[in-house]
Amino acid sequence: MIVAERKPIEEIKDYLSGHKRVLVLGCGTCVTVCLAGGEREVATLASVLRLAGELEVQENTIERQCDIEFFDTVKEQAESCDAILSMACGVGVQTVVKVFPQKCVYPALNTMFCGSNDGAGQWSENCLACGDCKLGIFGGVCPVTRCSKSLLNGPCGGSVNGMCEVDPENIECGWQLIYDRLRTLGKLDVLAENAQPRDWSRTHDGGPRRLSREDVAGL
């Protein structure tokens, strides 16, 4: 999932300076799971902004801000405001802009990474969404993400007792994880071959990446 965290309240207030009526809009998927932009977080931020006494604050949460189809339920409410504060990832913020091009739209969150939940209140990065996944080669461990240096053919030699030299107390060596995983699977021979670098010409021709599926385009 996409993991995010709320921006400092002073930064948010700076965005809204000069506005009179704002809609704080939450998202019911990723940022709800990571406790950054769901209904509860919307209510908390809306309360903080109301206490400042400078704004009329509306609040709502839709299922997903990255899909235009979910905005129908808030269109009237959004049109009545002169600014929209999106508590979604950067994709959600830009979708709000597309749906409401005449409105000032501001991000309330910083989008951090694609990751997983490691425990109560803890998330870690697992994927860079690079578009050329190597998990099938390296036993399900991503060297680009898990290695501090993003080495595709590691290790670098800076690993001690399975910990990375960048931060020996907190960061596991990604290539130690890959080695241990492949040893468990009996596939250490994979490491005898160099993995090919990412083919940028095939996966990224310039500009934002796009994905089109002809089999569902007309549905």
Backbone angles phi, psi at 2, to 5 degrees: -80, 125
For the stretch 45-68, pLDDT in tens is: 999 999 988 899 999 999 999 999
Contact (Cβ atoms closer than 8 angstroms) between residue 117 and residue 124: no
For the stretch 8-33, pLDDT in tens is: 999 999 999 999 999 999 999 999 99
Task: Give yes or no for residue 204 having a pLDDT over 60.
Answer: no
Give the three-state DSSP class for 205. coil
Buried b (16+ CB within 10 A) or exposed e, 4-14: bebbeeeebee
For the stretch 145-164, pLDDT in tens is: 999 999 999 889 999 999 99
Q: What is the pTM of this model?
A: 0.87
pLDDT interval class at 217 (50, 70, 90):
low
Q: Which domains does the chain possess?
A: 2-112 (3.40.50.2300), 130-196 (no CATH)
**How far is Cα 191 from Cα 154, in angstroms, rounded to an integer?**
9
Q: In 3D, which of 69, 67, 64 has the Cα closest to residue 30?
A: 64
Per-residue pLDDT, 53: 85
**How far is Cα 202 from Cα 196, in angstroms, rounded to an integer?**
13
